[in-house]
């Protein structure tokens, strides 16, 4: 019973750690600025939305999910069998847990996005992908803010 109790505590701690890290993922929203973007010069250009397409922005794979999953899987695997069977179960649990942790982290950090095509007043046509946090329709007049690093966002 003591082993099961320790196992439950370890799993609970690791799950909390995974949730904490996935909550720290940076935003790709047009309305959220990073600390690096604050107080920086952005070029502002204007244009008209040509099309808006819903897309998925892939999640992150920082290897934290892999590590946490491998630890959890290894701990669970170590409670199975005895002798060389336990070693095999521990390794198998760590591998399976690592794969599951990677998938969970990527899924937890995946976001809905918009692919926004804009016909700029300058004559250029741009496509910008950002989080789906703005209600845009073809024909809407928008501004495009471009940072020195080339990243851009669309807003009204």
**Residues facing 119 on adjacent strands:** 48, 125
The per-residue pLDDT for range 68-88, each reduced to its tens digit, is 899 998 888 888 878 888 888
* Mean pLDDT in residue range 147-154: 91
Taken in order of first residue, the domains within the chain and their CATH numbers are 1-27+60-109 (no CATH), 31-58+111-156 (2.40.50.100)
pLDDT band at 1 (very low <50, low <70, confident <90, very high): very low
The model carries a pTM of 0.63
Contact 155, 46 (CB under 8 A): no
Q: What is the pLDDT of residue 23?
A: 52
Q: What is the pLDDT of residue 139?
A: 98
More confident residue, 3 or 96: 96
Whether the per-residue pLDDT at 150 is higher than 50: the answer is yes
Distance set, CA 13 to CA 9, 20, 76, 127, 132 (Å): 6, 11, 14, 42, 32
């Amino acid at each position: 019973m003591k082993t099961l109790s320790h196992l439950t505590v370890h799993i609970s701690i690791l799950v909390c750690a995974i949730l904490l890290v996935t909550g720290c993922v940076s935003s790709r929203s047009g309305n959220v600025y990073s600390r690096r973007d604050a107080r920086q010069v952005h070029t502002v250009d204007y244009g008209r939305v040509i099309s808006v397409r819903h897309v998925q922005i892939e999640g992150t794979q920082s290897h934290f999910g892999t590590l946490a999953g491998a630890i959890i899987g290894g701990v669970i695997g170590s409670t199975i069998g005895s002798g060389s069977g336990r070693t095999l179960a521990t390794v198998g649990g760590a591998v399976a847990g690592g794969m599951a942790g990677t998938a969970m982290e990527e899924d937890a950090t995946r976001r809905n996005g918009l692919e926004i095509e804009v016909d700029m007043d300058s004559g250029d046509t741009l496509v910008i992908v950002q989080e789906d946090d703005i209600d845009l329709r073809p024909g809407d007049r928008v501004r495009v803010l471009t940072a020195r690093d080339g990243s851009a966002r669309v807003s009204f």
